């Protein structure tokens, strides 16, 4: 898919790629073994990432071309894609455990945001979890994306979530400019927002929230905070890479062994063919000798000289 500015695609690089991939890496530990809805799934890369840990992922997007693309590229036994709107999600009531909604809320009007949250609440199981992000209107350059309809301040975002869920926790995603080092992108945590002022870093460019009717799970480690090598996602991915590399080495060694056996078998086959050729030559020579001998025995001279041969044999015995 081509990048139009409305939705991220994996061909993009740099800052925008860090922002989008980090959010999905943050969500991975929270969806393990769960039925997941990725609402506004776009190109499908995020649903594909979530499927590494989730039991099943449904990606829903309003654009038919996006659904066609993602289905052809990512659909499998654990991932499907459906066409639908955030205000009319094509799933049954209480049919998913986790809803993931990254950078979608700001694309609809305030009234539609309320409907979207009601729809998310409808498809979630009673103790389900919402993982949702949106840009900070006080920091984000709204003019840079004309697809955004209504961006939110922190208090507006929190109020919208509390209208539909009993518990929430919000973190801020900052962007490291220049070097774009993964470890330089950090979370500044805000917990227990129900009481008192939120000690939140106002320079956060994006808000990422967990919301549920049950007490929230611990915030997962991510290379959104701290060094990349210290994150849970990084360690899991590196563990998988190490396992795959080990299996690759075993497969390569087995292939080499089979190639050696095949080469040995081919050499033996060639040696056997040479021996068969030599045996065929010997058989032809023996056949020629037998034919010559038979011809001698059948000749007239052999029959006429038979008495002489007997006489010679007799005198040799007498002499001995």
- For residues 268-282, one letter each, b for 16 or more C-beta atoms within 10 angstroms of the residue's C-beta and e for the rest, the string is eeeeeeeeeeeeeee
Rounded mean pLDDT, 122-149: 82
* % of the chain beyond a pLDDT of 70: 76
Band of pLDDT at residue 223, cut at 50, 70 and 90: very low
Q: Does residue 44 register a pLDDT over 80?
A: yes
Rounded mean pLDDT, 272-298: 85
Q: Tell me the pLDDT of the chain averaged across its residues.
A: 78
Distance (Å, whole) CA 225 – CA 113: 29
Residues 185 and 22 sit within 8 Å (Cβ to Cβ)? yes
pLDDT tens, residue by residue, 169-179: 887 776 543 22
Q: Of 46-50, 135-139, 284-288, which one has max mean pLDDT?
A: 46-50
Distance (Å, whole) CA 219 – CA 261: 54
- Indicate the pairing of strand 56-61 with strand 35-39: parallel
Band of pLDDT at residue 196, cut at 50, 70 and 90: very low
Assign domain 15-225 to its CATH architecture.
3-Layer(aba) Sandwich (3.40)
Rounded mean pLDDT, 81-90: 95
Rounded mean pLDDT, 237-266: 82
pTM score of the predicted model: 0.60
- Indicate the pairing of strand 35-39 with strand 96-102: parallel
């Amino acid at each position: 898919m081509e990048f139009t500015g409305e939705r991220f695609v994996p061909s993009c690089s740099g800052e925008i790629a860090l922002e989008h991939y980090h959010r999905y890496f943050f969500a991975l530990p929270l969806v393990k073994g769960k039925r997941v809805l990725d609402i506004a799934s776009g190109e499908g890369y995020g649903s594909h990432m979530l499927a590494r840990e989730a039991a099943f992922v449904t990606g829903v997007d309003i654009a038919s071309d996006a659904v066609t693309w993602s289905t052809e590229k990512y659909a499998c036994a654990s991932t499907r894609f459906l066409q639908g709107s955030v205000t009319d999600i094509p799933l049954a009531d209480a049919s998913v455990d986790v809803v993931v909604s990254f950078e979608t809320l700001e694309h609809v009007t305030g009234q539609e945001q309320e409907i979207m949250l009601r729809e998310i609440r409808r498809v979630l199981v009673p103790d389900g979890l919402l993982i949702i992000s949106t840009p900070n209107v006080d920091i984000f350059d709204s003019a840079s994306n004309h697809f955004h309809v209504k961006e939110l301040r922190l208090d507006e975002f929190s109020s919208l979530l509390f209208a539909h869920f009993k518990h929430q926790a919000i973190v801020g995603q900052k962007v490291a400019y220049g070097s774009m080092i993964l470890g330089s992108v950090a979370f500044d945590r805000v917990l227990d927002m129900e009481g008192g002022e939120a000690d939140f870093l106002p320079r956060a460019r994006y808000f990422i929230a967990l919301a549920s009717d049950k007490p929230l799970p611990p915030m997962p480690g991510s290379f959104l905070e701290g060094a990349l090598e210290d994150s849970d996602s990084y360690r899991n991915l590196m563990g998988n890479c190490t396992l795959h590399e080990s299996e690759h080495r075993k497969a390569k060694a087995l292939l080499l062994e089979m190639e050696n056996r095949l080469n040995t078998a081919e050499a033996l086959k060639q040696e056997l063919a040479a021996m068969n050729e030599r045996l065929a030559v010997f058989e032809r020579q023996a056949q020629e000798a037998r034919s010559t001998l038979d011809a001698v025995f059948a000749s007239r001279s052999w029959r006429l000289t038979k008495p002489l041969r007997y006489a010679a044999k007799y005198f040799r015995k007498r002499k001995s």
